[in-house]
Structure 1
Amino acid sequence: MIKPVVKDVLFLNQKSEIATKNDIGVIKDLEDTLRANLEYCVGMAANMIGVKKRILVFSVGNIIVPMVNPIILKKEGQYSAEECCLSLTGFRETKRYETIEVEYLDRNFKKHKETFKGFIAQIIQHEIDHFEGIII
C-alpha cells in the first residue's frame, strides 16, 4: 500500500528498532511507496512511512531491493556528497564512502553479505542513517 511520506523531523530524528518477521508487511508498503515516488526518489527507510523499523528499499533500474536490519561492516574511500531526501527540502552536504560491505536479511529473512560501490552504496548509507535518526 502506498503510504504518505513523513516529513516530521522530530519523528525522523528517532532511532529505529530491529525488524522481525512480524514486520514483513512493511517491505511491501515501502516498495509500493518507493515505486509511486521513483520520479523523485531512489531509496526509502521505513521511518519515512511512519514505521520505526530497520528496513530499507532502493531501486536499481526497475528492480526494488529490500534490506532488513542492514549493518555496514566495512567502509572505504570517504568523499563529500550533496544529497536530498523526499522527507526534506533542498540539498545538504554529507560524507559517504565509495565502497561498503553490508550484512543484511532479505525479504525471506535469509542472511546476505555483499559489497556495494558508487551510487548504490551512497543510497544504502543514506537510508541506514535514517535508522539512527541522522538526517542529512
Structure 2
Amino acid sequence: MTAQKIIHDQLFLRQKSTLANKMDLPIAFDLRDTLVANQGRAAGLAANMIGQSKRIIAFYAGMLPLIMINPQIIKRSGKYFAKEGCLSLSGERQALRYQRITVTYQDLKLNKMTQEFTGFVAETIQH
C-alpha cells in the first residue's frame, strides 16, 4: 500500500462516512502508510482525509500506528475543551472532547474489539 495525498476539500470532509467492510481493507493500509509518512505532523488520520468516505481511522497509540475500522465511542467522561489542528484544515479550532472514552471497533481481521483510551490518545480518536 502507499501513502496518499491529504484532502483539503471541506465539502468532501463534511460528508458522512459509510461503514467499512473487508473490501475496504486496502484503504486502511493506505491510511496507515499516510499516517507514517506524516509522522511528526499528524497524530491520527481518518479515511476521508485521503479521499475515502469510510469509517476507518489510524492513529498513534504509543510508537505504533493503530487502525480502527467502524469505531464507535460507547462511553465517555471528563468533558473538556481542546485546541486542535488538522492536516486538512488551516489553523487551530476549539473542540469539545472527553478525557476518557471506551471505543468498540473492528481490527484488521475484522474482529470486534472494545478498548478504553485516555488523555491525548482519546483526544486524537475523537478528532
After TM superposition, the score normalised by the length of structure 1 is: 0.91
What RMSD in Å do the two structures reach over aligned CA positions? 0.7
Offset at residue 94 of structure 1 (A): 0.8
Q: Which residue of 2 aligns with 1:130?
A: none
| Unmatched segments (≥5 aa) in structure 1 | 127-136
Q: Which runs of 5+ in 2 are unaligned?
A: none
Match of 1:134 in 2: none
**1:112-127 alignment to 2 at 5 Å?**
112-126=113-127
Whole-Å separation in 2 of the counterparts to 1:119 and 1:14:
25
Q: Secondary structure at the match of 1:101?
A: strand
Relative contact order higher in (CA < 8 Å, ≥ 6 apart): 1
* Equivalent position of 2:87 in the other structure: 86
Give the number of equivalent residue pairs: 126
1:40 aligns with 2:49: no
Match of 1:34, SS? helix
**For 1:5 and 1:109, how far apart are their aligned partners in 2?**
26
Deviation at 1:61, TM superposition (A): 3.5
Q: Distance in 1 between matches of 2:72 and 2:45?
A: 16
Residues 92-101 or 56-65, more deviating: 56-65
1:22 is matched by which residue type in structure 2? Answer: M
SS state at 2:31 partner = helix
Aligned pairs (5 A) from 1:65-84: 65-84=66-85
Q: Comparing both structures, which one devotes a greater share of its residues to strand?
A: 2
Q: Which residue matches 1:7?
A: 8
- What SS does structure 1 have at the residue aligned with 2:90? coil
For 1:27, the equivalent position in structure 2 comes to 28
Using the alignment, how far apart are the partners of 1:88 and 1:38 within structure 2? Answer: 17
Match of 2:50 in 1: 49
The AA in structure 1 aligned to 2:53 is: K
Calculate percent identity across the aligned residue pairs. 46
1:102 is displaced (CA, Å) by 0.5
SS at match of 1:89: strand
